[in-house]
Amino acid sequence: MTNSHFGISLRSTWYLGAMLAVSLATLAAAASDFDLQAFKRRVEAGELGKLDEQALRTLLAQSPPSALIDTALLILQEHPDYQAVLSKKERVHGKLPSQPDVIALKFRREPMATYGEWIDGPHKGRRVLYNSATNPTEITVREGGWLGLISVHIDLDNPITKRDTNHSITEMGIEYVLRKTRADLETLVNRGKTIDVSRGKWYKEGRAHYFEIINETDGPPDFYAHWARLKFNLDTGLLEEVEIRDRDGNVLELFSYRDIEWARFPADTFDENNPAYGF
């Protein structure tokens, strides 16, 4: 995990692009008899959501442990722009907030750009914009309430950006934790550990079908997380929730994504002069 707030360095921008390339390259590392594209087509056709519990477990047991992760990455890579509502709680400086921040998030992969508006929670009213194409070294921030009398440009490495989160704004997208967890799985496999994600939790919420993967490792520094729970929507193939805990079982992070929509944003979406943002 990084230890930053909304800031992101040029090195981090490069890193995100490199990680995307690594994700694409490592898709080929699955078992030779596994057809990821065919698996993805089944997901997009809604077939996994229609399987009963035992049939789904059998399918996952016959697939690489990263099948759901790789499928979600492929789907996201086909849709470079999306928006979602993110609900997040993070343990920062040893404290986990009682209420989550709820953020209306807009994300563009190339060139990297993100806009977030805090619509509920402890920091309601905050607005943050990052656009690597126009200002790769700064973010634009306007707080809610009396703190938001004016908007400010903050250097990406300014310590003030480390107040209440462990992540930069570019790490709030869905892909970040997918890539990190996939890297953990790959490291475990390379170390000879047998991983059976088919023993995860299958359940329904309303009409939606879900499957949760639990991944346990030795934790940092060799791994992203000691304990990670990933909740996949079997009807869409997308990750909707991730929970990270330390080796003592303490919750470090809980991120939930809802109302995920593909988009083609107009040019002014990531323009700080967009009057809709009030910067």
Among 250, 195, 207, smallest CA distance to 226 is for 250
Q: Which two tokens stand for residue 113?
A: 């750009």
Q: Report yes or no on 278 lying in a domain.
A: no
Note if the pTM is more than 0.75. yes
Q: Report yes or no on 250 lying in a domain.
A: yes
Say what percent of the chain tops pLDDT 90. Answer: 70
- pLDDT of 163: 83
Domain count, the chain: 1
Q: Report yes or no on 277 lying in a domain.
A: no
How many residues in total does the chain contain? Answer: 279
Range of the domain at 126: 1-271
Among 109, 91, 101, smallest CA distance to 127 is for 101
3-state helix/strand/coil string of the chain: CCCCCCCCCHHHHHHHHHHHHHHHHHHHHCCCCCCHHHHHHHHHCCHHHHCCHHHHHHHHHCCCCCHHHHHHHHHHHCCCEEEEEEEEEECECCECCCCCEEEEEEEECCCCEEEEEEEECCCCCCEEEEECCCCCCEEEEECCHHHHCCCEEEECCCHHHHCCCCCCHHHCCHHHHHHHHHHHHHHHHHCCCCCCHHHCEEEEECCEEEEEEEEECCCCCCCCCCEEEEEEECCCCCEEEEEEECCCCCEEEEEEEEEEEECCCCHHHHCCCCCCCCC
Among 147, 145, 148, 139, smallest CA distance to 169 is for 139
Query: What CATH number is given to the structural domain containing 267?
Result: 2.50.20.10
Q: Report yes or no on 276 lying in a domain.
A: no
Q: Which two tokens stand for residue 144?
A: 């809610």
Q: Report yes or no on 65 lying in a domain.
A: yes
- pLDDT of 32: 53
Per-residue pLDDT of the chain (279 residues; tens, 9 = 90+): 433 333 334 344 444 444 444 444 444 444 457 899 999 999 999 999 999 999 999 999 999 999 999 999 999 999 989 999 999 999 999 999 999 999 999 999 989 999 999 999 999 999 999 999 999 989 999 888 766 678 889 887 777 777 888 888 888 899 999 999 999 999 998 988 888 999 999 999 999 999 999 999 999 999 999 999 999 999 999 999 999 999 999 999 999 999 999 999 998 999 999 998 888
Torsion (CA) 210, 197, 36, 72 in degrees, nearest 10: 40
Q: Which two tokens stand for residue 13?
A: 């921008």
The Cα-based distances of 19 to 68, 181, 252 in angstroms read 18, 12, 23
